[in-house]
Structure 1
Amino acid sequence: MSKDELIAFVGDEENGVRQSVTIGRTEVNIQYRPTDLWVAQELDGETPRKAQIDSLRKKYDRYYYFILSFSQDKKEALHQVQEGFGQYSELVQVLSFHMPEYVTLTTSAQDTIPVGDFMLNRTYGMSSATEVLFVFSREKATDQEWVQFNLNEFGMGIGNQRFRFKRSDLENVPALAF
C-alpha cells in the first residue's frame, strides 16, 4: 500500500480507525495514526534499508497514537471561541499543558492507560481544525477486545465524549510498501 492509500484508508470511518461526532457547531474527530505513517514521516522520502524500516517500526509500535481534532465551520475551533481572549488563552493553556487531566484510554478489562505524551499542533488559525496528538502505551491493551478514548469536558463546551475502537481494527491496518 502506498502512503497516500494508507492515509485514505485511515481517514475512512468504515475502516474502524476514525470516528467523529458533531456537538452544536463543533465537529470532533479522533483518528488513529498507524506505525507506518510515523516510519514514513521519519524516513522523509529516502530509500530505506529493511533493517532501518524494522528498527523504526519497533520504535513506534510500542504505542497507540491518536489525533484529536476540533473544528467549527471548517476552521480551527480554538480560533472560533466566542468569549474573547480570556477563553482563548485558557484553552491554549489547557490544550498545551493539561490535557492528561481530561483524556485517558481504557480497555475492555477496565484498565486505564494514562496519556504517555501529547502535543497541541499550533497552526495559528491557518488550518481547518485544532489538532492534538495523544500517545498511549500499548502494553495494557494487549489481548483486549477494544480500547476507548475518553475525552472529558475541558472548556470547549462539547461535554464528555467516548470513542471505542476494536483493537483488531487498530492492529490490522495495512502496512506500507517501502
Structure 2
Amino acid sequence: MAYVTLRLNTATKVLLLASIGILLTSSCTTQTFDSTEAMWEYLNDPENEYLHQKTINGVDFSLVYKPTDLLVHQELGADKSQVKVDSLRAKYSKYLYFNLSMSKNNQELLSNVAADKQRFGAMVNQLAFSMDQKVHLYTAQKDTIPMADFIYPRMYGMSGATTILIVYPRKNEVTNSEFMTLSIEDLGFYTGEVKFKIPAKIFSNEPKLNFNK
C-alpha cells in the first residue's frame, strides 16, 4: 500500500508542476497588437493593471502606464524597418512613461480656478515647472526614483482634463520591485496626498505593437 501511495503522490506532483508551468508561461506571454487603438483598449481595461483611477473630493485622477512601443509609434514615421524599430525601442525603453490626467467637473484643473487670478497664476506655474516636486515614485522599500522629465501641454480649456506625461528612468530598483507607489501631493483641491499602487510586472511584460503587419 505504501508503494501505491508513493506513486500517487509522485503523479500528483508531476501534474501540479505541469499546471504551474502552464500558468507561468501563459502569464508571461507578451500581448502584441496590430494597432494603437487595440493597445489602448487593452491598457484602459483596469483588470490589466495598466490603468489606475481614483476620485477624491470631486477631483478625478487617472494614471496609465504608456508602453515603449507607443512612443516608438509616435516617432516611427514612414520608415518601419526592423532596424529603425529596434533603434527607437532601445531609445525609449530606458524610461517609464505615465499619463497622469486630473479633472474636476469634467474640466481641466485650471478651468476650476480661472476666476481667481492669483490662484490661477500659481497653478499655471506649478503645472508647468514644479510637478517633479509634487509627484513621487518609490519602491516597496521606500526608495525614491527621481523623475527624469515631465511634459505639460497647455490646452487653454479645450480639454476635459489636465494631462501630464511623466517620465522616470527604468532602473533595476523599479523592475525588480514587487510594486511601485506613485503619489501626488495636494495641488490645492483638498484631496490630500493621492497614492497609486502599481505592480512592477507591467513594466517587464508590457504589450508591444506589430510594426511588420
- State the alpha-carbon separation in 1 of the partners of residues 170 and 79 from structure 2: 29
Following TM superposition, by how much is the alpha carbon of 1:156 offset from its aligned partner in structure 2, in angstroms? 3.3
RMSD value, Cα: 1.5
Task: From the CA coordinates, give the structure whose radius of gyration is larger.
Answer: 2
Structure 1 residues 9-35: Cα deviation after superposition (integer angstroms, max 9, x where no partner): 112211101111111221011111110
Structure 1: state its 5+ residue gaps.
none
Structure 1 residues 96-141: Cα deviation after superposition (integer angstroms, max 9, x where no partner): 1111111111012321101110111211110111011111111131
Which residue of structure 2 lines up, in the alignment, with residue 81 of structure 1? Answer: 113
Structure 2: state its 5+ residue gaps.
1-32
- State the alpha-carbon separation in 2 of the partners of residues 82 and 121 from structure 1: 17
TM-score of the two chains, using structure 1 as the length reference: 0.93
1:108 to 133, 137, 140: 140
Which residue of structure 1 lines up, in the alignment, with residue 93 of structure 2? Answer: 61
Following TM superposition, by how much is the alpha carbon of 1:58 offset from its aligned partner in structure 2, in angstroms? 0.8
Contact 2:55 2:61 in 1 (8 A): yes
- State the alpha-carbon separation in 2 of the partners of residues 115 and 151 from structure 1: 13
Name which of structure 1's ranges 13-22 and 150-159 shifts more when overlaid on structure 2: 150-159
SS at match of 2:208: coil
Output aligned runs, 1:149-164, within 5 Å.
149-164=182-197
Output aligned runs, 1:1-178, within 5 Å.
1=33, 2-44=35-77, 46-81=78-113, 84-139=116-171, 140-178=173-211
Contact 1:91 1:156 in 2 (8 A): no
Aligned residues: 177
Higher share of residues assigned helix: 2
Q: % of aligned pairs identical?
A: 35
TM-score of the two chains, using structure 2 as the length reference: 0.78
Higher share of residues assigned strand: 1
